[in-house]
Structure 1
Amino acid sequence: MMNHCPKTCGLCRLLEGIRAAKEAEKDVQLPSAEDLKGIVAGVAKLQKLYDLPIDLMVSGTIHDFHTSVELSTWDCLQIGQYFIDENIFSNAWLWFNHIFNTSTDLDVKEYVRSQLEFIKNSHDTTWRHDESYFPSLLSQSPYQSPLRGLFSLSCTKASSVMLHHIPPSTSADFSCKLTTRGNPFFILQLIKQETVSEDPEIILFHDVISDSEIETLKRLARDNLRRDVKPNRRSEHAVLDRNDAVVKAVERRASMLSGLKMADPTETDPEALKIRNYGAYQ
């Protein structure tokens, strides 16, 4: 049809494309509404947890990693709405402000303006000192950074900021050192240990898994991911085969680092190494 149609309106090409798309849909499982909600929630949580600059994230830049994937205005609206639904008003305010300042669509700006007013009123009438809010009322100061919790600060290694949030008795020794962890296995290859908190004890071990091991674990998990069945959890997990040489090595190293015994293979239900994906479903 496309080759012999004398008309130049392009309708034949369009109809042919529609037919091809419908044929492809028969063999392709498209994301459901729940899948999309899970993706939005995952992106929103990552941005909040690691305090990623919104403008860079929208342009496809995360820390020093640049991608060609950008977030559209619609994407940003969904993320902002997620924060509203979760009553995380500080981050909702930041996302809708970003949309208002970058969008040229007058209808979008009018909608966003009404959402900003709603967020401000909700934030100020329910204000409390936690990471869902700003340090002070929005009606008094519209330009603020959200309060951040200890877990978020730990993830971003913001030790200098954490000193103001952790009681003095627990923040006496933020140190980095090379250690054997009392295990002769590490004498020739010392472990890089960073103490983040003493009470509760939080320790980071750096460079204990090689890039090739990481790729192997990802490969082992990729074809075995299964959706979690717990309510309100949009994630997948894979239980790794502990007979694999890399899995054995990682489990053994983790046991020596932590001082905890490995699961006994003779037990009825030993806890195996798992990989969990909080991003998009397969």
Structure 2
Amino acid sequence: MSVTTHKEKLLEIDLELIGNLERYANKLQEKIDTLQRLADEMRQPLIEAEGRQEEYLGNPLNSFPLVRHLYSDWGLVEEFMANRVGQEQIDFLKEKLSELPLPKDLSAATEAIYRIELAYGVKPSDLAKGLVDGVQYDAKLSSLDCYVMATHHFGLGDYSKASQWLTVALALMNSSDMKINSVFKYKRSDVSLMLARCFLEMGSETEARYVLSKEVNMTTKEIDIKIEQLQLVGDDSYQQQTFGPEILLPEEFNAICQSSHKPKPTRLHCRYNTTTTPFLRLAPFRMEELSLDPYIVAFHNVLSDEEIAQLDRLIAPLLKKTFAIGPDDDYDDTARTADGAWFPNNASPPTKENIQLIDRIINLVSDLTGLKGDEADSFQAVRYGFGGHYTPHYDYLNMSIDQTALYGDRLASVFFYLNTVKHGGATVFPSLNLKVPAEKGKVLFWYNLDGESLDFDENTEHGACPVVDGIKLGLASWINEYDQMFIKPNYRPRK
């Protein structure tokens, strides 16, 4: 199931649970209404007897109902009060609990917000009100949402940012929400104590004392004891891990992702490419030069809307969680957050239309690049959802695995953008100060190895900015080194 489909399913479950909660509340309200009517009816004789109790009770038509009422009614009322209502709704909720997100799902959602915050330099106060990278969204975070983000930063040891999230959480916490927050076991004191701990970790005991006195209402003696406790033994309430820059998106990468990024002026050109292959004399492509060293170009309007729609239908059922390959030929589940699929594969319907489409894309790769694509090497389809990203990396593998032994390393990369991303999702080359927006029908092509020596070109490091609004759907193809030995021989020895 793709990320988008999974989240749509969660929306459906939430709607079902809210409807179930409303039905449960209605059942409770019916019971409350019945109890209130009972109380009103039981109180009526007492109102009539007020001020004339002796005369009232002297009438057997009044004393008899009172004795009968006290003897038999209150036992039945107690039974009615103890009878649980809404059991059907409670059972429904218990059944649905197994379909709700797991801890890993909450962690992934939290990290997606965290990447948006880092990559686009968003302040917690802005993110909480839906302002991201200069764009105002019709969305916001609650006080409890902000508290969860604070615990994430606290666990990373980023106490400064955690304190900012906690400050926002306190500002969003209304006294009218106390009863609702108590259901979620969320108290103002929880936020304040963590904020005090952050100030202590940052070496600001004065601010920690102020928070404890004003927010938690501790006495001076209680504050002294709490401060000493935290300073000596710490607090095990929060799961903590070592904070290091290696887990962050690099600052130079983030700066280019942001809308404030200003590219350096160049004298590069846009033109119709008619020379790469003879076919282009009949059907040239619009080509935009992005860099000459390393060579990076973008082709526009390569695939038609119909071809993209057919690709989307072909790809969608195949997508599942995908990861980047690490240096030890294992998988890194933090460098890349996307759904992916290699195709064509056994799950691809071998229809005439699909075969023709795949052949068309293989030919396109050759026409655009002038190089030979390996028909045995599958394409990789990728879909990035909210917060989906790919940390800066190289496409050349630079390691001995079966693939490089048979085909050589990845000489060049070709990436088809299958949709336009509303906000985020750009491809960034940090060393070149280059950002390529994700636009439908565009194809990005670059060399990973030096054109003459086939040395690794470190300036080809690139990454995918986190997606803020929408999804990013693409198709990647890599051109292998050994397949080009008669097309593009190396002229200088490799270093």
Shorter-normalised TM-score: what interval?
0.5 to 0.7
Corresponding residue number in structure 1 for 2:381: 274
Q: Tell me if structure 2 keeps the 8 A contact 1:226–1:236.
A: yes
Q: CA deviation at 1:101?
A: 4.0
Indicate which of 241, 252, 255 corresponds to 1:153. Answer: 255
Corresponding residue number in structure 1 for 2:185: none
Q: CA deviation at 1:44?
A: 1.0
Indicate how the Cα distance of structure 1 residues 54 and 29 shifts in structure 2: closer, same or farther if over 3 A, else same. same
Corresponding residue number in structure 2 for 1:114: 196
Q: CA deviation at 1:40?
A: 1.0
CA distance in structure 1 between the partners assigned to 2:366 and 2:200 by the alignment: 51
Q: Tell me if structure 2 keeps the 8 A contact 1:60–1:66.
A: yes
CA distance in structure 1 between the partners assigned to 2:168 and 2:300 by the alignment: 35
1:42 equivalenced with 2:99 (yes/no): no
Over the residues paired in the alignment, what is the CA RMSD in angstroms?
4.8
CA distance in structure 1 between the partners assigned to 2:29 and 2:123 by the alignment: 53
Q: Tell me if structure 1 keeps the 8 A contact 2:159–2:198.
A: no
Indicate which of 187, 191, 195 corresponds to 2:287. Answer: 191
Indicate how the Cα distance of structure 1 residues 175 and 111 shifts in structure 2: closer, same or farther if over 3 A, else same. farther
Deviates more, 1:231-240 or 1:205-214: 205-214
Corresponding residue number in structure 2 for 1:179: 271
Describe how 1:27-176 pairs up with structure 2 within 5 A: 29-60=99-130, 62=132, 64=135, 66-67=137-138, 69-88=139-158, 91-104=161-174, 106-118=188-200, 120-121=202-203, 149-156=251-258, 158-160=260-262, 173-174=265-266
Bigger-Rg structure (1/2): 2
CA distance in structure 2 between the partners assigned to 1:94 and 1:186 by the alignment: 60
CA distance in structure 1 between the partners assigned to 2:383 and 2:171 by the alignment: 36
CA distance in structure 2 between the partners assigned to 1:45 and 1:280 by the alignment: 6
Corresponding residue number in structure 2 for 1:237: 340
CA distance in structure 1 between the partners assigned to 2:250 and 2:306 by the alignment: 34
Indicate which of 88, 91, 94 corresponds to 1:22. Answer: 94
After superposition, what is the alpha-carbon deviation per residue over 1:117-144, rounded to whole angstroms, capped at 9, x for unaligned? Answer: 156349xxxxxxx7999xxxxxxxxxxx
Indicate which of 4, 21, 31 corresponds to 1:8. Answer: 31
Pick the structure with more strand per residue: 2
Q: Tell me if structure 1 keeps the 8 A contact 2:366–2:372.
A: yes
Aligned with 2:90: secondary structure? Answer: helix
After superposition, what is the alpha-carbon deviation per residue over 1:85-139, rounded to whole angstroms, capped at 9, x for unaligned? Answer: 33455644543443344444742541352254156349xxxxxxx7999xxxxxx
Indicate which of 210, 226, 232 corresponds to 2:320. Answer: 226
Indicate how the Cα distance of structure 1 residues 154 and 72 shifts in structure 2: closer, same or farther if over 3 A, else same. same
Corresponding residue number in structure 2 for 1:168: none
Q: CA deviation at 1:256?
A: 5.3
Indicate how the Cα distance of structure 1 residues 45 and 5 shifts in structure 2: closer, same or farther if over 3 A, else same. closer
Q: Tell me if structure 1 keeps the 8 A contact 2:163–2:199.
A: no
CA distance in structure 1 between the partners assigned to 2:259 and 2:27 by the alignment: 65
CA distance in structure 2 between the partners assigned to 1:212 and 1:227 by the alignment: 26
Pick the structure with more helix per residue: 2
Indicate how the Cα distance of structure 1 residues 228 and 220 shifts in structure 2: closer, same or farther if over 3 A, else same. same
Q: Tell me if structure 1 keeps the 8 A contact 2:143–2:168.
A: no
CA distance in structure 2 between the partners assigned to 1:14 and 1:55 by the alignment: 40
Normalising by structure 2, what TM-score?
A: 0.37
The unaligned stretches of length 5 or more in structure 1 are 123-129, 134-146, 163-170
Aligned with 1:273: secondary structure? Answer: strand
Corresponding residue number in structure 2 for 1:142: none
Q: Tell me if structure 2 keeps the 8 A contact 1:193–1:206.
A: no
CA distance in structure 1 between the partners assigned to 2:320 and 2:31 by the alignment: 49
Higher relative contact order, structure no. (Cα contacts within 8 Å, ≥ 6 residues apart): 2
Indicate how the Cα distance of structure 1 residues 98 and 24 shifts in structure 2: closer, same or farther if over 3 A, else same. closer
Corresponding residue number in structure 2 for 1:136: none
Percent of residue pairs bearing the same amino acid type: 19
Q: CA deviation at 1:39?
A: 1.5
Q: Tell me if structure 1 keeps the 8 A contact 2:128–2:141.
A: yes
Letter in 1 for 2:254: S
Aligned with 2:341: secondary structure? Answer: strand
Deviates more, 1:251-260 or 1:108-117: 251-260
The unaligned stretches of length 5 or more in structure 2 are 1-23, 34-82, 176-187, 205-244, 324-330, 389-495
Indicate how the Cα distance of structure 1 residues 38 and 189 shifts in structure 2: closer, same or farther if over 3 A, else same. same
Corresponding residue number in structure 1 for 2:218: none
After superposition, what is the alpha-carbon deviation per residue over 1:10-51, rounded to whole angstroms, capped at 9, x for unaligned? Answer: 8866322112223445xx632211121112112211221123
Aligned with 1:223: secondary structure? Answer: helix
Letter in 2 for 1:84: F
Letter in 2 for 1:43: I
Aligned with 2:379: secondary structure? Answer: coil
Aligned residues between the structures: 241
